[in-house]
Amino acid sequence: SQSELDYPFKLLEYLNGFRISKAIFSACELGLFDLLLQSQKPLNAAEVAQTLGTSEDGIERLLDVLVAIEIVDVEVVHGTAHYSSTDVANLYLAKTSPKSLHDLIIYYSQTIYPLWNNLVDAVRDGKNQNEKTFGLPSEEIFSAIYRSEEEMLKFMGLMNSTWVIDGHDIVTAFDLSRFKSVIDLGGCSGALARELAKEYPSSTVTVLDLPAVVQTAQQHFAQQDDTIGFQEGDFFEGEIPPADLYILARIIHDWKEEKNLKLLRKIHTACHPGGGVLIAEALLFENRRGPTTVQMFSLNMLVQTEGKEHPPSHYTRLLTDAGFRDVQVCRTGKSYDAILAFK
Ligand code: SAM
């Protein structure tokens, strides 16, 4: 194969990465994948343009890019291209699919993308860019994330969509059946809690989150015959109710070391003897040389929060310092991993 020095193929592909992301995001925002899923037959660019209210030229160029990256299929009949969805687009990109990543994509496109526009400053200053991007104080992470009702809903949609595809691996990483009362601290929309309740029907699962989040969860994410309960609270300032198992999913990576230690000590005190804590995070390799997606998440934490991603040894040390023992680590091989420790 040709050397990168002869011609920078790989480098050029990386430089183009943002265009690929934005092409998929834009197709999602336009409702293209929903239209292709609902359509009984392949559609030409004129038909798509008319239904979505776009220019024909614009949508044709976008469709052709999506064909090139194998997210849309094409067949040419009498010289006219007719487009249809692939199975992957139907399953993960259409809004109505139970495994839809639509909410994740909207958040990436409308919130993460503008934040990453200020990555230079984030790296230079070593702190998040909420102030520069949204005019909100950098210390109050969740005031920035929840800066409007619409933003709260979008963020909760993002959190929710992860567990639709990754939740089952997390709740089955260890046998959790012995834990009869479970509290998901900062459990947001309740998506992971629902996966847990489904897997362990004899356990009682409660989501504890900030009052406004709990109210929004109940209004917008509740399900018929919901198997989980909600409790309004504040895990830093308020009481942590007693339980057998506490879930901390994507909580530790938001905060500075001392806050995490304080939180884990509080959990240790509240925890029933023999109980435990289950941490769900994306784990770095011990030598920090990957996985690339987790390194990217860590950069994202720099831009948006006060935390970062860590290798397993960091969590083991935090948990041990807080009084937990028998720390077990399970890499799922997907986006998120699980760590279990006992009181
Ligand atoms: N655990 C969820 C998940 O993995 O999808 C949500 C993770 S999100 C990064 C952090 C969560 O912590 C949010 O739902 C947020 O509302 C909640 N949170 C932040 N500060 C909190 C506090 N002081 N007390 C309770 N929940 C808090």
Q: Is residue 286 part of a domain?
A: yes
Based on the structure, what is the number of domains in the chain? 2
What is the number of the ligand 1 atom nearest to the C-alpha of 248? 1
d(CA 41, CA 2): 42
DSSP 8-state symbol, 253: G
Catalytic residue among 102, 253, 268, 314: 253
Ligand 1 centroid to 279 CA: how many Å?
13
Residue 99 lies in a domain: no
What is the tens place of the pLDDT at every residue in 216-235? 999 999 999 899 999 999 99
Give the Cβ contact number of residue 122 at 10 Å: 21
Q: Which are the contacts of 150, defined by CB distance < 8 A and separation ≥ 6?
A: none
pLDDT of amino acid 162: 95
**Contact 133/115 with Cβ under 8 angstroms?**
yes
In a domain, 203, yes or no: yes
Asked if residue 75 and residue 184 are part of one domain, the reply reads: no
C-alpha 130/C-alpha 152 separation (Å) is 15
Provide the CA 148 distance to its chain's centre, in angstroms.
Answer: 19
Note down the domain range covering 24: 9-93
Q: Which residues are paired to 12 by β-bridges?
A: none
Which of 93, 115, 141 is at the close of a domain? 93
Protein residues with CB under 6 Å of any ligand 1 atom? 142, 159, 186-188, 192, 209-210, 213, 233-236, 249-251, 254
Instruction: Please tell me whether residues 86 and 189 are part of one structural domain.
Output: no
pLDDT of 109 strictly over 70:
yes
Let me know whether 63 and 192 are in one domain: no
Query: How far, in Å, CA of 81 to CA of 75, rounded?
Result: 6
CATH assignment at residue 268: 3.40.50.150
Residue 48 lies in a domain: yes
Whether the CB-CB separation of 114 and 294 falls below 8 Å is answered with no
ipTM: 0.99
Average pLDDT in the 279-296 region? 98
Residues 87 and 229 in one domain: no
Question: Where is the domain boundary, 93, 125, 150?
Answer: 93
Q: Does the pLDDT of residue 168 top 70, yes or no?
A: yes
Do 88 and 172 lie in a common domain? no
Co-location of 215 and 70 in the same domain: no
Rounded distance, CA 190 to CA 184, Å?
Answer: 8
Res. 2: pLDDT tops 80: no
Residue 307 included in any domain: yes
Q: Determine the Cα–Cα distance for residues 171 and 199; give it in Å rounded to an integer.
A: 7
pLDDT in tens, 250-273: 999 999 999 999 999 999 999 999
The pLDDT value given to residue 139 = 87
Atom 24, ligand 1: which residue's CA is nearest? 234
Residue 146 alpha carbon, nearest atom of ligand 1: 16
Determine, yes or no, domain membership for 206: yes
- Among the candidates 58, 74, 93, a domain finishes at 93
Give the pLDDT of residue 1.
59
Mean pLDDT of 106-111: 96
Instruction: Confirm whether 314 is a catalytic residue.
Output: no
- What pLDDT is stored for residue 138 in this prediction? 86
Tens-digit pLDDT profile for residues 49-86: 999 999 999 999 999 999 999 999 999 999 999 999 99
pLDDT, mean of residues 116-143: 94
Band the pLDDT of 335: cuts 50, 70, 90: very high
Q: Is the pLDDT of residue 148 over 80?
A: yes
50: CATH: 1.10.10.10
Mutation probe of ligand 1 site: the residue of 194, 210, 214, 216 with most atoms within 8 A of C-beta: 210
> Chain-wide mean pLDDT for the chain?
97
Please name the helix (run of DSSP H) or strand (run of DSSP E) that holds residue 246, with its range, or none.
Answer: strand 243-249
Q: What is the pLDDT of residues 194-208, one digit of tens each?
A: 999 999 999 999 999
Helix (H) / strand (E) element for 49: namely helix 45-52
